[in-house]
Every structure is written in C-alpha cells, then in structure tokens.
Structure 1
Amino acid sequence: GVIGQTAAFNADSKRATDGLKLRDPFDVLDTSSANPLEWKAQYKRDNYYWDYDRIIPEADAAGFSYLTQGRSVAAANSFGVSRVWNPDKYSKFARNNRTEKRPTQLDWGMGGPLGSKANWFASGRFSESWGRQPNEYSRTVNFFGKMSYRPKSNMKVSFSGLIQDNGFFSRKGQRGASYGWKYIMEGLNESYGGQLHFNAVFTHTLSPQTFYELRVSHLREYNDSYNPKYGKAPLPERNSATTGLGYRPLEGGTLPSVGYVVYGDQAYNDITSGNYSDVRPFKTDISFSATSQINPNHQLKVGTGVSLYDYHESRRGPASGNAPVIFNDLNTVASDKVEPLSGWEYHVFPTEYYLYAQDRIEYGSLVVNAGLRMDILDAKSNSIDPFKPRSGPNLADDDPQYLTKAPSIKTGVAPRLGISHPITDRAALHYSYGIFNQRPTLGNLFDGLVQSYPFERNHGNPDLPYQKATNYEMGIQAEIYPGYYLDVTGYFRDVNNLPLEWAVNPESNFIGGSQREISFLLPTFAQDSRGFEISMRRTMANRFSVRANYTIAFVTDLNSPPGRIQTIVNASDLDQGGTPKPSTYQRQSSVFDRRHRLVTNILVDLPMGINATILTKAQSGNEYRTKNQTTVDPLQLIGAANRSPWTTTTDVFAQKMFNLGRTTRVGVFAQINNVFNRSNIYSIGGSPSSDRYVRRGDPVGITGGPLGGIGTQENAPRDIWLGVNLAW
C-alpha cells in the first residue's frame, strides 16, 4: 500500500510546481515468501533532517484535502495570528537546515590562593541555541564556586555551590518543537528548569595512615511546565477561551488517522499536565567515611550515609471525559469561569540509608578487592490495594487521600569481589563478581497514588523492591608490543525485579465513583546482557596515539510482548505467591540491544603546534518489531523483527595555542561534529498504530519519507563550531 501511495503522489501534476516528492522508504523490501515472518525490510536513512526550503505540508493533491478542513475554523479563532505554514513563520533566518541564529556558548573559570590557608575557584557557562526545528529555544546559565580552608595542617574544610538556570530563575521559557503542532507551535507549553546544589566537606587526618571525611550536600531541582499565555493560573473555561480548543483533522476511509493541531493550545489538550506541571525533587545527603592504610599492602575503608528526599510532584490538566475533577480549591468559585481540572499531586519524604566496607589487599603481585554494601529504603507512603482501592461504594469513598497498605522497609545486600594477578611479566588476568542494588525511580514508586487520570487507574507502587543486578567479569590485560596494550574482557550481567504494569479489576463493592480498573507496577521482568569487550591502545609516539574499543553484546528481556498488559483476576494470586508469572512470558531481544559497537579515538600532534582529536563511533542497529504478532501492521510486515541500519559518526577537534607572554596563552579551536554529515537512525518504534503509520499528509517530513516513526531518535547534521580560549 505504501509503495502505491508513493507512486500516485509523485505522479500528480501539482508536483511540478510544489517540488514535493515521496521517497521509497526501503533499501530492502522482500515479501516474496509465503510466510510473513520471513519477509525482510530495511528502511532508508537518506536526508530526514528538517529542510526549511521544502516543507510545504498543505498539499492540495487528491486525497489530501483533509489538511484544509480546519482552515475556516482556525481563521475564526486566530485573532489575527497566521495559521498558514510558511518557512519563515517561526524561523526568520532559517535556510538550508540552519538554525534561526547561530548557537553560542561561553565558558570561563578562574581561581587562586587566599592567603596561606585558603584557595578558591569559580566557573560559569552561558549557552544559547535556537535548535534545528521551528520555534525551538534553549538557554543554560550556571555558576559554580568552591573554597577550601585549612585551619590546621591535618584538617581541611571545603564549601562549594552550583546555581543553574534553564528558565526557572530568569522566567525565560525553553521551547520545544512537536510535529503534530507544526501549524501552531506557539500553542505548546514551555519548560522552566533550575537547580541549586550546595556541598560541605570536612576532612581530618588522624595519622599518616588514617583519615576520615564528613560530607553534607543539599540539592534543589525545579521543573515547571506551562503555557506563558496562561501562566500557573487555572485555565479559563472553554466557553470563554475559544482559542484553547484543539482541532485535529483526520484522514478518511480505512487508513490510519494522522492528526495535526491547526489551532489551539496544548494546555487544553493535555489532560495530565496541560495546565501546569511542577516537579521538585529536593534531596539532602549526609555521609561519613574513614580510610586506613593498615600496612603497605592492606587498605580498609568503611562508610555510612543517609539520603533524605523531599519529592513534590503536581500535574494538572482539563478534566475531560470521565476524568475526576480534583484541585477543587481552584474550581470552587463559579464566577471565576475556570476549566475543571484533573491530574495528580503528591508530596512524599522517602529515606535511604546505606553502609559499606571495602578492603584492598596485596600479596606480592596478587591484588584482591573485596567489599560489602547494604542499602535500606523506607518509602514512607502507603500504597493502593488494587482489589479494594476505596473503603466502599459510597461517593465519599472517592477521597483521593484514602490509601490502604503500608509497604515494608526494603533492604539490599551487595557483596563484591575483584582479583587480579600476573601470568607473565607483560600480562595479567582479572576477575570480578558483584551485586548492585538500585532503587526504583520515584515515579515508579509514587506516581498517581493520590489521584490520576482517567478513572484514577494508573498507580505507582511504593512496595517495589530494589532492582538487583549481578555482574560477572573475566579478562586479560597485556602489553603485546612495547607501547601497545590489549585488554580482552568477557562479561555477564543479570538484572531482576524490574517493574512491569499489571491490570486489576477492583471488587464490585469497592469500585467507588468513576473507578473501573486499576493499573499498577509489580517487580516482574528481567534482563540480561552478555558479551566481549576488546580494547587496544597505543601510547603517544611519532606524534600520534590511538585508542580503540570493540564490543559484541547480546541483550535480552524476559518479558511479556510489547503492548500486552498482564491481568490479575484474584487477590489470592497476588497475596499467596508474590508476583504471578505472566502467561505470555517470552525471551526477546531488548530494544537496547545493539549487537556491535566500535569506538576509536586518535590524538595527533600536527605541524605548527596544532593538536587534533578524531573520535569515531559505529554501532549496529537495534531491533524493531510490530507491537504484537496479532496486530495488523500497515507496512504488511506482521510479526517481522528486523534491525535498523548501522549508525556512524566522526567528530574532529583541533586547537592551536599561542603564547602571548610568560603567563598568557590564547587558543584558537574548531570542532566539527558529524564530519561526513551522515544520517543515522538510532531507534525505530514498535507500535504500528502510532510509530509506523502511513504519513500521507507530510510527504517530506522530518524523516524524508511517507512513514512516521522511522527515526524516533536521530542524530544532528554536521555542526561546525569555532572558538577561542584565553588563559593567564
């Protein structure tokens, strides 16, 4: 079907004037086998960058009239704002894949002594970019300062602080671009981020062999998102804010829908956080460690610490459909004429504790590193009972604060062991074993516990355990020739207790209000990776050095198929044996499985005092597949699993330094990213209903072809940066 649509579009007489052309999206397309599982397809990767000179999405060819259906409605609600696309609408200076204005970055740093006992250092950065797509804008401003003081020769006190602004402190919003909003980019929300980080360290040397360290740090992050047209205030009701309505023209017939917002604001389209989202992960860390060199061959280190979280997340948007109306303090005054809001909000204070000991022992040329770490997590929040999410069927039982279960305190013990010993005077073997525990993300623990959209049905789980990774490594390091070194390592990594979404139908007497189904997370699926890593380096000689690393890896998931949600029918299935085993469990290649990786780094001393670095990265493509084997694939590749193309980039950095005196130096540098301007596709979506639909209305879009989702992650075209640095 897609090939026929491509040919019909290109044959239309209007192509002679508008210059548009659909490309055949495949380098390889073989459907000759009677078994669809044996069909083969490989996407092209040609020219999918945003090309300002060729994007004219309002094609008037037959079959594309749906693009004009919303023009009259859009004009009536535009208040003089043009809703017609043109290359200069958002990007006045945009030509031939260039940004609105040139991006700029300035870095500085300085430091020195303050008397005989103190030192100071300060640095900062200003970075501003208009991106590569219309309406994009980002700016980063930060300042870092550090001071150290020695009240005595065996004591040291250090203080440091970082302030970073991504719009939160300056109120200068960061803008993104979304393809579905290409007609009305100004309707998108803007983000406002910021960060404050303070750190204090006290180090005390008790003897030439022993010292201890006390560290206290505090991090405050701010992440807001809203439309500056409305700010953080509640949205005006739709009857009085007609520009807040979204219009999405859809294709007719049996073909998949492709919608574009031709007027309106994201604030009214996003039920989760269209009006306002506020995420503030504050954290305080306190730690103590002591190190003792017991003898020249034996070092012991012990430590303990606590992390105190203050995590506040609030998301609110229009209460569409059956979504419950919450944030009632914003909706109580009828005369305000504001939009009823839904969403979620929670403020939690989980705490993590840890203690560890590590020992390094040398017996001649044998080196042994051993350690033990224990982690403790107290979520300090109740969790939903999915079968009885409310106390009963009465309306009052929809109280969003009604939570029913108290999760247990979670612990994780992690032993670690590493051994290295020589086998010749130029080679050594090394082995390691270790367990690493990682707590679930705060979103996985707490999202939606108070109330969520729609039907209050999507919930995190504060009762999730630590995610446990077990690592094994064995390898050899050798100097194979004077100045040439080789390291070959084999590894295996097994990860368990990863969260998976499960669905539950609550007991009928405990549904309450709009509740119909509960979705929550359980520690279910696992992942393992195994492979070999080969590293080679040549030390600097004859004006150049080389480092190269090649990895072959196999990453698989033990999981249910994409798009399939597991269901728990009876409470006993959950209470008696923990997490049930999914009925559709299967081993499949992970979306992170990139089988081959090669990285080379060459340092060259060129004539005239120029130093250059050439970095090349090459990776085989990851796997893509249809959502599940029973879903109709619009590309007629049912159940087929293939790999996207190899990706390759080469970056070059060169610098020339000039001495302007005894203490002053000036450097001139150039950095070229993606020297060969190679187009790379890093991932391909797996949902045929959304990621691989036939994009009939955008023949030259960001992928340069008629399909969506071909390049769900892409690299940037060639970038050339020129700069100077000054040191004195």
Structure 2
Amino acid sequence: MRYSWCSVLLIMSLVILSTALVFAQSGKITGSVKDASSGEAIIGANVVIEGTTLGGAADVNGVYYILNVPPGSYNVIASAVGYARSTVRNVRVGSDQIVQLDFSLRTEAIGLQEVVVEAQQRVIDQSQTSAKSRVTSEEFRSLPLREIYDLIQTSPSVYKGFVRGGKQFETKTLIDGIDVTDQFYASAADNGPGANTPYLTYNAIIRHSSAQKSALMDLTAGSVEEASVLTGGVGADYSSATAGIVSYSLREGRGVLSGGAKFRLSSGGLKHHGPGVYNDAAKYLAEKSTLAASTDANNRAKADRYTWTEGKYSYGEKPTMEGEISFGGSVAENMGLYFTAGLNESYGRLPNEFDRRINSTLKFNYSPVPEIRFNVLGILEDQGRLFGWKNSSFSEDFRFFLEGVPRQDGMNIVGQLKMTHVLSPQTFYEVQASIVSKEERLGYVDGNNDGVIGLNEDGDFLTFADTSQSNRYMANASNSQFTKFFSPSPRNESGSETVITNAGGLRWKISRPGLFYSDDISTKMTFKGDITSQVTVNHQLRAGFQAVFHNYDRELRAAYIGGQFPTYKNYVEELWDVQPKEYSLYAQDKMEYAGLIINVGARLDALDLAAADFTNYFGPFEDVKDAAGGSVRVPVRGEDLDMRFFFSPRLGVSHPISDRAAMYFSFSRQTQSQPFSRLFTNYGDFGNPSLPVVVHTGQDPIKSTNYDLGLQWSFAEGYGMDVNAYYRDIENYGATSFVVTPRTPWRLYIITTTFGYADSRGVELTLRKNLSPVLGDFLSVGGRFSYAYSYIKQAVGAGGNPSSFSTVGGDSAKYGGGLPFSDIKLFNTIEQNVQGGSSSLTGGYDRPHRITYTLMMRFPYEIMVSSVGRFESGFYYRRTLGDPRARELAEGPWNKQVDLRVEKMFDLGSARITVFLDMLNAFDTKNILAFDASNVGQQNWERNGNPTGGDGVTTATRPVTQDGSLIYDIPREVYFGLSVNF
C-alpha cells in the first residue's frame, strides 16, 4: 500500500474530523454521604464532578460511586435537599485509581454558605494492586527535560527504555489507551545474529534515534495530563506486554477556555564528549597527498575523490529550538476540546545531523445527551513526509563523505473514535475504533537532476524502481565508471575507500555508497468493545473483545554486499505486503471488601501471522528472471502458519494494613509476538546472494511470568514510601542462527530464530513528598527519590550446540527438509549478566544499582528551582586480557547526571509569564555508555579506560559506535525558555 496525496488527505480528515479515542484507563471516585450531626446516611444525595456529566447517587447505606473518570484534577460537589452543598476542590484522579472521598453535609440553615475545602493529596494509592509509577502534568511542566520520555526514565523500573530487564520492544506505549508501539521495530532485525539486514550496515543506515524507545511518536508536554509506568500484573483489558506498559493520558477540554505557549532555545549548537570526529583528519590528508604525488594515474585519480576539507560539514554550530502552543476548554455545556502543536528542530551533535518534527494533537468530546459521550482524538507527527523536508544523520564510516549517508523523512498518524453509553449509574459500555499509521522513507535526493547527489538537495527520493534509473546512477562494475555516484559493491571497492582504517577496523568511504531506497508503511486498525458494571458495591465486572488488523508494506532496494553477481538483478529488492491479525477476549472482576481490593482477570489472545515459512529449508528459493533478464531469488514458501492462541491470567491484590499503609501482590503471565521485523525481513526476496541472512517466520513469541510483592506506607503527613520486590522469568529472550548449506548449486545461508531465557529480579524503593511548606512561607519542597537493585541473567550458548546443517551431510533427508528449531531449547547454556560495550542500544542495560530523584523547591516572589538526577552503576562486559575462559564479568564506571531548572513567574493581567533556564548535566560529567569493541579498542578500554577506540596517534578514535549511538552521554547543555499561560 503506497501513500498518495488523496490517501494522506483522507487519513488527515479522519484524524481531525472523525476519529479517536480508544479505551483510556479511567479512574473511579467512591465514598459515603452522611449527616454531619447524626452520622446517618443521606439516601439519594447527589455527588457530581463539576464541569462534566459524571455523577452518582447515594444508596440506602449512603454509599455512592462515579465510574469512568478520566485522569485529572476535579472539583467534586455533594448536595441533598435540606443540606448545604459541599465542594471538595482539586481532587486528583489517576488512571485505574479508586479515590475514596467521603462527605459530611450540614443541615441547611439561614445564612449557611456552601462548604468548600481543598482535597488532601494522598502520597500513596491504597487501591494499587501492582507496581506502578505515576507522573503528573505538573511535573512535566516544572522539571528540566529534553522530552517527556525523560521523566519516565526516573521510574525505578526503567533504564533508557529497558523496563525490568525487557528489551525496548517488550514495552508497549499507550496514548489514551491506544497502542502506538512500533511493533515492526526495524532495529531488532538490524542487530540480529549475523545481522538480518547486512546491507544496512554497509549503506550507513542509522536508527539510533528511533531505536531508543519503542513508541512510534513523541508527545508535547502540554498535551499530557498523566503518565504511568505499569510493570506488574496489569488488568486483563490491557494488551499483553512482557516487560511493561507506558501509558499516557491526554488532557481534556473542560472548564474556562485557556491556552499557553512555550519556547526553548539552546545556548548554542549541541556538543558531545570524547574525541572530535575529525581528530584523525591528518591521516586522511596525508594519504591523499601520497596518492596525489604518485606516478600511477589511477592513484592520482583516486586522490581527486578525497573531497573532504576542514569545515565542509556543519558541526555543532546551530542551536536546538523547541516550541509549543496549546488551547482548550469547554466550548459549550456539552462540548470541549484541547489542541496542542509543537515544533522540535535540532542540528544534532555530529556533522550533518538534522532532525525536525512537527507534532499536533486534537482531543474533542461531545455529549448529545447526558448518557452518551463521544470522544475524538487525532495526532499527527510530520517528519518531513507531509511538508517536504528531509532529515539527515551522521555515519562513522562515511565521516569524510557524508553525501553518501541516506536521508530520511516520514509521518505518523493516530486517529480514534469512541462512544460511551451509560445505561445506568452502575453500568456503561464503550465501542471504539482506531487507526495508527507510520511511514518512514530512507534514500537519496538529486534535486537538480545532474546525476550526482549533493548535500541537502531538495526534492523527492530516487526510488530505483526501474533499471534505467539505477543504471544512470550506479556503475556497472566495481572500480569503474567513477563518474557515477553509486557503487555496485559498497564494501569491496578499493577506489572509493581509504587504505587507513577507522577504530572499528573498516575503511572510511571517500565516495560511492551503495544504492539504497526504502519505504516502509505500517498501518494498524483496532476495533474494541467492552461493558463495565458495578453489579454490587463489592464487584465491578468488565468484559470485552479486541480485534487488530495490521498491514506492513515494504519497498526496499539496496546494492549487493560482498561482490558483484552479474547473473543476478543488479540490486537486492524487497517488495512484500503482509497482514497479520490479532484477536482478544478478556474479562475481569475488581472486588472491594472493607479496603481489600482483588483484581482478577484473564485474557485470551490469538495471533494469525497470515504468512508462511519455507517449504524446504534445503531448497528455500528458486531463481526466476526479471524483465531485464536478471536472476531474482524468490523464496519458496508453503501454506500460511496456523493461528496461535495464548492464555494470560492476571491477578492483583491490595490489602490494607492501616488507614496509612497497604500491601499489594500481583501475578501475570504475558505473551507477546517477536518484533515483526524479525519475522518478515526478506519475506519476498532471499536477500543478498553472498551469505544471505533470512528469518524464521514461525519463531516462538516472547513469554514472561511476573510476580510482584510490595508495601505502601504514608509514614508522615505528606510523605510516602513504596517498596516492592519482583521476579520475572522470560522465555525466548534472545536470538540465535543456523548456517544451512542447501543443495547445489546454491551456497550457504544464515537463518535466525529465537533462543534462550532470562531471569530478571530486583527490589525497588520510592520515597515521595507532596509539594508543601517546610520553612513556612519561605520554602516549599516536593519530589521523589528512588533506588533499585536488580540483575538480569540471560542464557548464553556454552558451546557444542549443533548450528550447521547441509544437504551433503544428509541433514535434508534426516529432518525431512525442515530444521530442528525445537532442539534449541536443549542447547548447552550458562547464565550470565546482560553485557554492554559495543552499543547502548542493544546492551548495557543490566545496571545493578540505579538511583533517581525529582526535586521541586518553591521560594517567595514566584521563584522555583527544580532538579532531576540519575545515578547508575556501570554496564557489565567480558575481559579479553587475562584468562579468556574466565566467566566473571567486569563492570564499567558509574553514570551520574544532574539536571537543573531555575524559573521566575510574573503575572500580567490574566496571563502568567514564566522565564526559565535549564541546565542539563549541570556538572558536565563524562558518562560512558559504551566502548569501541574492536580488538584494539577493547584492549585500550581494559588497559587505560579509553572507550573511544585507539590512541589517536597510531590508531583511530571515534565518538560513536557502529550503530551510531554515542559512546559518551551528553555534556553540559544550557537552554533558555519562556512560557505564557492565559
């Protein structure tokens, strides 16, 4: 499925006009209404939430409840005939939270005014039945953050997107209940054993930005009402996620119309710790001079292709800019909206980096009658696909020829529609539909059509969809036709590479990358319905269904790796469209007995990949001719795989100890598909002819068994503590590969599949304090402090495991054309901590000690100082110096970062103006995230602690790893900002 302008406009229309809101995880307010004098129940008393149609009536025992309350702060009003009205202001309701709110009404008398009190903000949630971290909109607006996801990282369960030992793609992201997780997650295939897509490495494809988190898009801080990190036994209405769930609840339009604007600008271009990219330029220039002075004409011609000069590429010069506007409120008694728009533009830390994103959110609610409510949500994030710019990145291998790095654009769309129908004060049902769509394109632009790709040319991508275009831009043989921009073999062409090598042992490119273009489109449509009923005071039942229809459409063309193949088509081409489907049924009962809460449920999931594996792994493809007469390898696949079913029980218990303390316990069994990139890469083509790497489509899903035991305690007024211990057993955690030699004349190939298990355990402690005075009117303080101790042990192959199979060896006959994937569970393994080193994207997240804090301090004259801090012990790595048989791992240095904000507020009429200064990594700590894992680099790291590769004299250094992730975390950054609210 390709996007046309008509389809783009249609989807945008759906977003803005008619789609949105899948199930938002709402809360509940309950309590009693009694006579203040006698203590008797006031039967029929009304309790309503101001500015909404939500409310309830007291029963014969004076008990009321209000269901389906969206997260936020409300004024709650209780009234009855003959009694003065009572209002409790700023009652905070969180997702899945039960708020206890009791009223004592006074008999109405002449001159008695309405009673108005401020809600007491609790620091613990006694209705919590599993581990959960909650962040409010006030924290998002007040703390120094690069993006809202940074505040999620302060949860004790999270380290840089890894939740309790799970991979990034094991955590699902929900926005108002809609799953916006990148289920394809291309980086999972990029970094598989042997690399499923080796041409990405050799064509400078960098995904470090999108790989750092599994969500398809970012949100503006002004659009978020609350965010939660759920890591225990969540309710059965949540989709299965083997690591955890990050859930965002967006702000709704209610009350008086209001708005705001915020702008932030860095003090200059962003920098990086470690060696400069061009510290090794003298070697490059010396090699160029040697070639230019050669008597060999070919060498002199090659010297002309050394085009880099000092200052050719922009490097840390332009500031990063962020802007945001918001507007919302009630536009009528039964209608409200909230709109936000944001711009983020960065020129990065490394040469040639540029990233611009425009994000807009519209949330609309309408109640034609009090019993029916429609919610509409639309989110659009443009990364250049809609408004026509291209983002660019840096590649270490192409540092001297950044014209050879593909550029990127894309667009993400979310659209949803939900109807809530209240049948009675005790029962309501919801039906909803949503669409989540992502497109990402990578490639090259020749805006002036001169046959040469220049820096930052405007225009559309070259698609190489016909051989005439590829023949115009790509040479027909290696080391020939150097006037053409692309090489037919980007890693075996001496005429376009240096002789000297970089820190990773590869030669720098001086010209001629490999041809590359990709256009990946993923679309997910979800239909969901459920009914909720408070059947008695003690039982709230919910049951529902969900159906998800995926469509993954890939168009990819890339140069061969490993040499030319004259009998084959002159580039690899992937053209496929797969349509997996997911179906779910769920039911749960939330039971409440005198403070005891039991949340028990079950979920039945079905996965239909609508795809097939190879019919015969020893004859997995056939050669067919394309229109130009070139051979194309076409996989030979059988019938579609059978639908698979997974049962997921969920249990959560909260047991009160006193009115200030409660224990909780949770259990869940979760099953989640592997990232679709690990199932479908090269699905329609057999990949590179030399050492192709393909995937086992029917590989087993990830499974986790999760236990939590915790205690909450409000040990003093405004102070709270939450301590929990957890255990997670994870199946099919890693990946492995088989080497297969099929029948002649075909050569060997590599196939990847799931492997091994992991054991993740830990203890987490969080201390909280509400923002309240500690030195009278001079100082108010609030914040959180968290400590986590954990470890992640994973299975590692111990040797002696069969992984090579061939027709000649009789394996085809032995296994009937199949492969012994089931034998992988019997492999010899040892347990070992998850290691880091070569990348901060794929490892280094097993940090045994993690400390985080958030701090807000309010002073007189509307001055506030806030801070966020993170402290983590180092990553594990294996030593290569000494006894290579040793299993004990070494540990890197601690990481320490403190961020600060100072702000001053001014009132100007009805507007409030805030000026602020943010200082990220205020103490300019050099935090090591990874090290160069080449032979020389590893030795330098172990001997002298230098993570950047060589010594900078005889061997090269670099500030990034092969996948583009920085070796050091950010240096000190200063931002100036201004916000206006009215």
In 2 relative to 1, CA 526–363 (structure 1 residues): closer, same or farther, beyond 3 Å? same
The letter for the 1-side match of 2:527 is I
Q: Could you tell me how far 1:614 is from its partner in structure 2?
A: 1.0
Q: Which moved more, 1:489-498 or 1:709-718?
A: 709-718
Q: Quick check: 613-622 or 163-172, which moved more?
A: 163-172
Contact 1:69 1:249 in 2 (8 A): no
Write the mapping of 1:444-463 to structure 2, written as runs, cut at 5 A: 444-451=678-685, 452-455=687-690, 457-463=692-698
Cα distance between partner residues in 1 of 2:500 and 2:707: 53
Q: Distance in 2 between matches of 1:424 and 1:676?
A: 43
**C-alpha separation between the residues in 2 aligned to 1:75 and 1:144?**
57
- Secondary structure class of the residue paired with 1:186: helix
Q: 1:585 to 1:411 in 2, by over 3 A?
A: same
CA contact (8 A) 1:291 1:300 kept: yes
Q: In structure 1, how many angstroms separate the alpha carbons of the residues matched to 2:738 and 2:904?
A: 61
Quote the Cα distance in structure 2 between the aligned partners of 1:639 and 1:251: 33
AA at the equivalent of 1:162: I
SS, match of residue 244 in structure 1: coil
Q: Deviations over 1:278-322 (max 9, x none)?
A: 111111111112111112221111121111111012321123546
When residues 556 and 624 of structure 1 are mapped into structure 2, their CA distance, relative to the original with a 3 A threshold, is same
1:57 is aligned to: 280
Counterparts of 2:897 and 2:395, CA distance in 1: 25
2:275 and 2:959 in contact (8 A); partners too: no
Aligned runs of 1:467-616 on 2, under 5 Å?
467-498=702-733, 500-508=735-743, 511=744, 514-521=746-753, 523-541=754-772, 542=774, 543-560=780-797, 566-567=803-804, 570=811, 578-581=822-825, 583-591=827-835, 592-616=845-869
TM-score by length of 2: 0.60
- Of stretches 311-320 and 466-475 in structure 1, the one that deviates more from structure 2 is 311-320
Secondary structure of the residue aligned to 1:681 is coil
**Residue 691 of structure 1, CA deviation:** 6.9
Q: CA contact under 8 A between 1:141 and 1:166: conserved in structure 2?
A: yes
Q: Structure 2 matches for 1:167-566, cutoff 5 A? A: 167-229=384-446, 231-234=461-464, 235=470, 236-238=473-475, 239-240=480-481, 241-245=483-487, 247-251=496-500, 258-266=505-513, 268=514, 274-321=515-562, 340-385=570-615, 387-390=617-620, 400-451=634-685, 452-455=687-690, 457-498=692-733, 500-508=735-743, 511=744, 514-521=746-753, 523-541=754-772, 542=774, 543-560=780-797, 566=803
Query: Is the 1:203–1:213 Cα contact (8 Å) retained in structure 2?
Result: yes
Residue 271 of structure 1 corresponds to which residue in structure 2? none
Q: Contact 2:791–2:848 (CA<8 Å) still a contact in 1?
A: yes
Q: Secondary structure at the match of 2:618?
A: coil
SS in 2 for 1:176: coil
- The answer as to whether partners of 2:624 and 2:634 remain within 8 angstroms in 1 is no
Paired residues of 2:622 and 2:634 also in contact (CA < 8 A): no
For the residue of structure 1 that corresponds to 2:281, the secondary structure is coil
Residue 377 of structure 2 corresponds to residue 160 of structure 1: yes
The letter of the residue matching 2:797 is S
Report how far residue 681 of structure 1 moved: 1.2
Determine if contact 1:681/1:710 at 8 Å carries over to the other structure: no
What is the TM-score normalised by the length of structure 1? 0.80
Whole-angstrom CA distance in 2 between matches of 1:441 and 1:499: 12
**Correspondence 1:83 to 2:307:** yes
SS in 2 for 1:443: helix
RMSD of the TM alignment (CA)?
Answer: 3.5
Mapped to 1, the partners of 2:971 and 2:590 lie a distance apart of 48
User: Which residue is 1:334 aligned to?
Assistant: none
Cα distance per residue 1:390-422 (max 9 Å; x no partner): 478999997515213532211111101111212
Determine if contact 1:560/1:582 at 8 Å carries over to the other structure. no
Q: 1:345 to 1:50 in 2, by over 3 A?
A: farther
> For the residues of structure 1 that align with 2:955 and 2:937, how far apart are their CA atoms?
18
* 1:584 shift after superposition: 4.3
Distance 1:505 1:110, change over 3 A: same
In the aligned structure 1, how far is the partner of 2:820 from the partner of 2:279? 60
Cα distance in 2, alignment partners of residues 388 and 577 from structure 1 = 14
Residues 58 and 67 in structure 1, CA contact (< 8 A), matched pair in contact too: no
User: 1:624–1:686: 8 Å Cα contact kept in structure 2?
Assistant: no
2:908 is the alignment partner of 1:668: no
Q: 1:256 to 1:115 in 2, by over 3 A?
A: closer
Unmatched 5+ stretches in structure 2:
1-270, 447-452, 454-460, 465-469, 488-492, 775-779, 836-844, 941-948
Q: CA deviation at 1:102?
A: 1.2
What is the identity, as a one-letter code, of the residue corresponding to 2:607? L
1:625 to 2:878 alignment: yes
Residues in 2 aligned to 1:215 and 1:109: alpha-carbon distance in whole angstroms: 26
Between the aligned partners of 2:767 and 2:440, the Cα distance in structure 1 is 43
Q: Which amino acid counterpart does residue 896 of structure 2 have in structure 1?
A: T
| Equivalent position SS for 2:656 | strand
CA distance in 2, matches of 1:486, 1:292: 33
1:613-692 residue pairs with structure 2 within 5 A? 613-625=866-878, 638=884, 641-661=889-909, 663-684=910-931, 688=935
Compared with structure 1, are the counterparts of its residues 405 and 563 closer, same or farther at alpha carbon in structure 2 (3 Å cutoff)?
A: farther
Q: What is the distance in 2 between the residues matched to 1:524 and 1:90?
A: 43
> Is the Cα–Cα contact under 8 Å of residues 703 and 711 in structure 1 kept in the other structure?
no
Tell me the amino acid that sits aligned with residue 906 of structure 2. F
Please state if 1:123 is matched with 2:123. Answer: no
Deviates more, 1:192-201 or 1:682-691: 682-691
Counterpart residue identity of residue 498, structure 2 = P
Q: Deviations over 1:146-191 (max 9, x none)?
A: 3222111111112222221112222311111122222111221111
Aligned to 1:720: 974
Shift in Å, 1:650: 0.6
User: Using the alignment, how far apart are the partners of 2:862 and 2:956 within structure 1?
Assistant: 45
Change (3 A) 1:708 1:384: closer
CA–CA distance in structure 2, aligned partners of residues 655 and 690 of structure 1:
44
Offset of residue 664 of structure 1: 1.7
Q: 1:287 to 1:78 in 2, by over 3 A?
A: farther
The alignment-based identity, stated in percent, is 23
Once the two structures are superposed, what CA deviation does each residue of 1:592-621 show, in whole Å capped at 9, x if it has no partner? 311100011111112321122211100001
- Helix, strand or coil for the counterpart of 2:497? coil
Gaps of 5+ in 1: 1-46, 269-273, 332-339, 627-632
- Alpha-carbon contact 1:318-1:342 (below 8 Å) kept: yes
- Cα shift at 1:714: 2.7
Equivalent-residue separation in structure 2 for 1:219 and 1:438 (angstroms): 19
**Quick check: 2:275–2:958 contact (8 Å CA) kept in 1?**
no
Displacement of 1:499 after TM fit?
Answer: 5.0
Distance 1:71 1:192, change over 3 A: farther
Cα distance between partner residues in 2 of 1:323 and 1:370: 60
1:71–1:464 distance in 2 versus 1, CA, 3 Å = farther
- Superposed, 1:69-108 pairs within 5 Å as 76=301, 83-86=307-310, 88-91=311-314, 99-108=316-325
